[in-house]
Structure 1
Amino acid sequence: MTTPPGDLRPDCRRCAALCCVALPFARSADFAVDKPGGRPCGNLTADDRCGIHADLRTSGYTGCTVFDCLGAGQHVTQHTFGGRSWRDSPDVASSMFEVFPVVRRLHELRWYVEEALGLPAAADLHPALDDAAERLRHLADGTPTDLESCDTDALRAEVTPLLRAASALARTGKRRRRGRRGPVDWAGADRIGARLGGAALRGANLRGAYLIAADLRNADLRGADLTGADLRDADLRGANLFTALFLTPSQLAAARGDHTTTIPARLPRPTHWNT
């Protein structure tokens, strides 16, 4: 599988700290306080840096450490608004805050589509996936007005069948040709806290599965489709996710792992995992 394009990776140096201002969060295990959307976080400094960045987890802001804008922050700041900032240009602040999550959703869809384009088994779908990727790029490059009216739910509904078809080809093609039994299908299943240590989940369909706090130590998750799977506090120590499909940096960061966890080469290893 190919490495996602560089524009789908966050570059905080070229962003106006949009994730720290535009997005709301509620006081919970992930955030120490309530914050409405459009209001700067109390930890944000005047130079758009986090004043407690090194201590986010111990300060009650675990949610910040697992968020990944997939490049939406710098795109909105540098491309959509031409380098302007909500600080220096209050007239564009509300539009920036509204557009940021839209571009983030477009980039997430592109992340999945770009990964599907790297699957040899889905070669027959590549022309349609290429078209989808180009359309998503074009939409993300739109004006603020265009983006504010963009229906990302409708786009997801259009793209999802392509991604599911690509996933099925990558996960089950060879097994079916060899007459083997199909992989586990736990799409949307509740496996919260499940004891799945050493589980054979190679090629499994885990789309949207609830794996919160599940014990997945030493599980074989190669080729498993993890689109939207909730991996918060899942124990991935020793697990093999090397060829896992549609896994995002945020999902990995929300889970627990260490140096024995095998992850796809295209993804960064969470800095808070034990080494």
Structure 2
Amino acid sequence: MRDEPGGAAPARTELKADCARCFGLCCVALPFAASADFAVDKAAGSPCRNLRTDFGCGIHTELRQRGFNGCTVYDCFGAGQKVSQVTFGGEDWRSRPGDEARLMFDVFRTVRHLQELLWYLTEALALPAALPLHPELRRALDRTEALTRRPPEELAELDVAAVRQDVNALLLRAGELSRAGLAQSGNEKNGKKGKNGKNGKKKDRRGADLMGARLRGADLRGANLRGAYLIAADLTGADLRGAELIGADLRDADLTDADLTGALFLTQPQLDAARGSAGTRLPESFTRPAHWTA
């Protein structure tokens, strides 16, 4: 990834959706198919039938009841307001001819990917164990932030996969450092040693198919669950402290009374897609989903 002119790093609040400052871009740019997540089909570039003239959602308080669960677990990581207010200077897609509106939708999809990377990089910079990587992480964050502010035509042509590959290599290293530090600390406390002089049991479940898995009360401290399929898994009472969850699919996973304190690269959409309870322990920066049981 080429160096780009630096700028101020985004605050965490800028990496969360602010629908009041967006022109309903996710409700137009993205397609969805009739399924358990969406009640109807919608083509990319076509406004959702529930989108109001003021760009608000006409059924926002009833999305789950009306069959639009997919909308409740989606987060653009702040791409909507950035594209609406910064990239296009406050001009909405309804005021633009067809090709210009399509450009806005293409840019939104690109910037959404970049904003997600900014979220992960910001999280990595908050990891004490990743301190040796902080200079590289900071440079990657500055470059990625600068990319989000490129002109629309350049953003539409940006090779997002290449950017993601570069950033992902850093995130992998940051996760490894953090999980290694957690394992060492935990095993020194418990006085355990493993094979080849390494403390603790290896918990590498990266990309594992754990759909519907019975993991009730499982000790998953410091586990690598990157990209794991945990759809409808029973994680009741599981210990997920320090587990790496980047890209893990938690749709309908049961997190009742689970402990996610210090979970690495956890996102709010992952929690929103799961089930939980008042006893589920979350990192301080996250919001307990409204649909979780009391």
- TM-score, length of structure 1 as denominator length: 0.96
Do structure 1's residue 48 and structure 2's residue 55 form an aligned pair? Answer: yes
Q: Is the 8 A contact 1:76 1:103 kept in 2?
A: yes
- State the alpha-carbon separation in 2 of the partners of residues 4 and 228 from structure 1: 22
1:220 match = 239
Are the structure 2 counterparts of residues 183 and 222 from structure 1 closer, same or farther at C-alpha, using a change threshold of 3 Å? farther
Q: Is the 8 A contact 1:172 1:183 kept in 2?
A: no
SS of residue in 2 equivalent to 1:30: coil
1:159 CA displacement:
1.2
- State the alpha-carbon separation in 2 of the partners of residues 60 and 143 from structure 1: 37
1:39 match = 46
1:97 aligned to which of 105, 122, 139: 105
Q: Gaps spanning 5+ residues in structure 1: where? A: none
1:48 CA displacement:
0.9
Do structure 1's residue 114 and structure 2's residue 122 form an aligned pair? Answer: yes
- State the alpha-carbon separation in 1 of the partners of residues 147 and 49 from structure 2: 33
1:183 CA displacement:
4.1
1:74 CA displacement:
0.2
Q: Is the 8 A contact 2:182 2:242 kept in 1?
A: no
What aligned pairs does 1:167-246 form with structure 2 within 5 A after superposition? 167-176=175-184, 178=188, 179=193, 180-246=199-265
1:64 match = 71
1:82 match = 89
Q: Gaps spanning 5+ residues in structure 2: where? A: 1-9, 194-198
What aligned pairs does 1:19-34 form with structure 2 within 5 A after superposition? 19-34=26-41
1:176 CA displacement:
3.9
- State the alpha-carbon separation in 2 of the partners of residues 269 and 101 from structure 1: 27
2:275 match = 256
Q: Is the 8 A contact 1:4 1:266 kept in 2?
A: no
Aligned length: 273
Q: Is the 8 A contact 1:183 1:201 kept in 2?
A: no
1:90 CA displacement:
3.2
- State the alpha-carbon separation in 2 of the partners of residues 101 and 158 from structure 1: 19
